[in-house]
Amino acid sequence: MIVALIIACEVGFWVLLALALAVRYLLNRRRASVVLLLCEPVLELVLFVVTAIDLKNGAEPSWEHGVAALYIGFTVGYGHYMIRWLDGHAAHRLAGGPKPVGPPKYGLARARHEGRLWTRTLVATGVALALLQAAVWYVGDDGDIDSLRSFQWIALRVAGIHGLVALAYTIWPKKEPDGRKDEDRGSGYAKDRVGR
């Protein structure tokens, strides 16, 4: 039941997001789109409540409860980022807005971007760990909490691996290809000459 609810929440997330963007850019109803976007956290709240009720009714903690906690954590950490990214693309495609600027590809700017993403992963991990720990305390010593503990370690490993990736971008920043630098210099030179 929990897995079906996770899938339903994921589908609901994208349906609500598509509706909100359509209402905002096709119907020009900004307030209605905000109301639809505010319904997004309700999906996670429903998942949280159903998972808690499932445990309260005596269900053995299992991988489904762990996945539910990770899903809620991911949505808290990355939900706003994804909505903002899609909003920029919808504004460009549907309302003639400027093309969204992609993330930086090279140098310290890329390292800072990866660091910000890692911060989101830390938020997601913190939320997941807190929910899993609450479930551990809720079940107590009477139940089998091994699966909940294993998902705590999974969350910590994901945060650690992502942290190493972000650190690698800082220690060994990706450099622009030589041809690209020459192109940039050439285009800047041409712009300077045209401006004179």
Instruction: Dump the DSSP string for 86-102.
Output: HHHHHHHHHH-PPPPPP
- Rounded to whole angstroms, the Cα distance separating 11 from 3 reads 12
CB atoms within 10 A of CB 59: 16
Residue position matching structure tokens 């093309």: 99
Determine phi and psi for 99, rounding to 5 degrees. -65, 130
CB atoms within 10 A of CB 144: 11
Per-residue confidence (pLDDT) for residue 124, from 0 to 100: 96
Per-residue confidence (pLDDT) for residue 196, from 0 to 100: 35
Residue 106 is given by DSSP the state S
Per-residue confidence (pLDDT) for residue 195, from 0 to 100: 40
The predicted model scores a pTM of: 0.80
- Rounded to whole angstroms, the Cα distance separating 176 from 189 reads 18
- Rounded to whole angstroms, the Cα distance separating 35 from 42 reads 12
- Rounded to whole angstroms, the Cα distance separating 182 from 195 reads 20
Per-residue pLDDT of the chain (196 residues; tens, 9 = 90+): 778 888 888 898 899 999 999 999 989 898 999 899 888 888 888 888 888 888 877 778 888 888 889 999 999 999 899 989 999 999 898 888 899 888 999 999 999 999 999 999 999 999 999 999 998 888 776 667 888 899 999 999 999 999 999 999 999 988 888 765 544 443 333 333 334 3
Collapsed DSSP state (helix, strand, coil) of residue 30: helix
